[in-house]
Amino acid sequence: MNRKLLTSAICASLLVAGTAYAQDNAAPQQPQDQSAATQSNNSNSQQDQERKAKKLQTITVTGSLIPQSQVETANPVITITAQDLQKQGFKDVYDALRSLPAANGAVLDNQFTNGFTPGASTISLLGLDPSFTLVLMNGRPLADYPLLYNANSNFVDLNTIPMALVDRIEIVPGNQSAIYGSAAIAGVVNIILKQRMEGVALDYRAGAYTDGGGQQMRLQISGGHSIGKLSLMGAVELNQQHPIYYSQRSYTDSYEDNPDPRGRIAERDRLAINPFTGRYWGTPDGAATCAPISNLFNGTLHYATRPGIGSYCGTLTPGTELGTILNSNKQATLFGEATYDLNDNTQVYGDLLYNFTKVNYLTGGVTWWGTGTGVPLYVYDWDAGQLQRLQHILAPEETNNTNAATNLENSWVFDAGIKGSFGNSNWNYDAYYHRSQYETRARRLRFLTDKVNAFFLGPQDGTDPYGYGYPAFHIVQNGKFWGAVTPAEYLSITDYIRSHSKTYTQQGTFQITNTDLFSLPAGSVGFAGVLTLGNQLWDNPVDPRVTAGQFWGSGGTSGHGTRDFQAAAVEFSVPIFKMLTADLSGRYDRYSPDGGTSDSKFTYKAGLEFRPFDTLLLRANYATAFRAPDMGYVFSTGSKFFTSVFDWYNCRRLYGNNPANCDPPYDSVQIQGFQSGNKDLRYITAKSWGYGAVWSPINNLSLKADYYHIKIADEVNSYSLSTILQREADCRLGVTVQ
């Protein structure tokens, strides 16, 4: 896989703020020689001032561990400041990141209610899978969202970061594993919170859409105060977002809004299909069948016809009109931080971020196909004398909107550590413990297999007269399929699927830096080193009734596992010439899944900065990266699903080299599938390179252009069902497979 991105020149106003941690040195003892003491004090004072000035001139930029005196380095960095967030009216971190050209990939976010993660939001850097982007808060990893993105990969939910505390967001595209380890293939997003506040700030924001729905309210209270050596900071943020329904938009409330005239056809709400021709059998009594239920869908259900195919009961106002385009969301976030200066060179600190979110959403109309768990693909109706394929879509009046789903989500991030410098040297350190945890409780109403099949079909009466072995019923006589369902009946054939999933990542880290390790003719060599030890957990149990097939048309992925990891990294900033600086870094990562095979990977990065004059920077970089296999791929204990497939074996057995001519029932056969994880999976690898230029002709103006190229290998994927079934046919028919 290759990914390329050429950024256009960007004209932006730059505001860079650095935080200083330099403190005065302890006063020396009074010497007996006053003159010598004065000279010594002046000398020490001058050295201290120089050292302080040097520290004040450096900041840490995402993509490097070494404090830098330059904002622009060999790594292209896109920065969104707190002022940008305020000026452009972004409602949250996700909203801000999605506005970037670099985050242009399509994603299944919290507007996709039929997906596996309807309560979460993520981004796609450079068009790559969200799992290839590493998301950090203050340079430290956040726990994965407990549910799998598109049922496959792990990712970080961006809805949990309080806007009131964001100082800036830094995005570094390209491979960054040599600094940050696994997952940093597409790039790194580092959300940096404010470090210190004095006083109290109150902010209220409200907004709405002119077409209705989606009202948003946000209240932020933040503040801080210093008492001697103790500094405190805290914040509370409350958010509420009202839903937007399909019915509230003129372009989604009816099939007549379809820009393609061929799509302006009524929804098939009561339908029987002829499996031999693919056409519709029609209703038992023509228009008279639809008349008793014409009050459904706000009185729009009618006898409809699709030219050349057949008739049915349908509506141009679909059941999905009451689905949500934008979910209902309530959120509360609490943050507290404390720092204490033990002495002039040492500071202890701790912080806690807690987030609670409640998400409600509607998927719209509820469908029963007459096929699925517990029912073969076709059924025979003795009353109609037909082998049929059925479809029944429930109207809002039938469900009374009780099919709304709810997610309750809790997440928290905790840090505690000590940092400072070793005496008056240039050596600085930061030793800390970090833990990030995410829990979600989900509840969704679904059909119970045995009850819904018995309700719509009635008792079985033998099998079809054609000898196919399909079950036979008196569907017209039963009256439920072609009739209306009451809300009470709907509740009697459904139940809630409940789940409680959890993830966490925790680590202990020791980091040292030195901006003046030793001197070269062109300047000082900078150094940084990191040691990390930690583990992560993924726990995603599925309601056992889902796995047992007790819920109609529902599947899920379950799994549990932990993985230990260790890492060591070094970075050097080397001035080769006055105009040319090299940045070199390397990192060794090792991880051990519980019950699986341990693996390790060394990654490296090299960057060059060339400054022919002060206002121009030319840069280039080359890096390698990796991603440890997704926890879901490794620890999935099995998922169960039902689907219809082309029976390659029987079609090739009966039709030889022309399986495309295969007739029912083998052209579409329902199967039950299983899939599980593999603890011996190996890592995904990547290489990237890029180059660019930054020109700052005047203050507060920068023009940037950067090119990135990323190549990914050894991706983990599942075989398609069609491929598996073709291989099965090859084996059973004695065909040699290359």
Give the span between the Cα atoms of 137 and 411, in whole angstroms.
13
Res 498: pLDDT: 92
Strand partners, 526: 573
User: If 0-12 CB within 10 Å is exposed, 13-18 middle and 19+ buried, where does residue 548 land?
Assistant: exposed
Q: Answer for the pair 255, 266: CB distance below 8 angstroms, yes or no.
A: yes
Alpha carbons within 13 angstroms on the beta-carbon side of residue 122 total: 31
Which CATH superfamily, name and number, covers 2-7+60-245+326-363+404-445+497-637+678-721? TonB-dependent receptor, beta-barrel domain (2.40.170.20)
Q: What interhelical angle do 648-655 and 721-732 show, nearest 10? A: 50
Q: For residue 61, how far is the Cα from the chain centroid?
A: 24
Kindly report the pTM of this predicted structure.
Answer: 0.84
With pLDDT > 70 as the criterion, what percentage of the chain qualifies? 88
Query: At 115, is the pLDDT very low, low, confident or very high (cuts 50, 70, 90)?
Result: low
Query: At 29, is the pLDDT very low, low, confident or very high (cuts 50, 70, 90)?
Result: very low
Range in 211-215, 587-591, 653-657 with the lowest mean pLDDT: 653-657
**Domain limits of the chain?**
2-7+60-245+326-363+404-445+497-637+678-721, 255-317+366-402+449-492
Query: At 2, is the pLDDT very low, low, confident or very high (cuts 50, 70, 90)?
Result: very low
657-683 residue pLDDT tens? 787 778 766 877 777 777 788 888 999
Res 668: pLDDT: 76
Query: At 374, is the pLDDT very low, low, confident or very high (cuts 50, 70, 90)?
Result: low
The phi, psi pair for 198, rounded to 5°, reads -130, 120
Query: Residue 664 has which token pair?
Result: 């029912």
- State the amino acid at position 26 in one-letter form: A
pLDDT, average across residues 422-428: 93
CA dist 591 to 505, 508, 629, 686, 716, Å? 13, 15, 10, 18, 17
Give the span between the Cα atoms of 592 and 582, in whole angstroms.
34
Cβ-count burial 640-656 (b if 16+ within 10 Å, e if not): bbbeebbbbbbbbeeee
The phi, psi pair for 455, rounded to 5°, reads -65, -50
**DSSP assignment string, 46-59:** HHHHHHHHHHHT-B
10 Å Cβ neighbour count for 277? Answer: 11
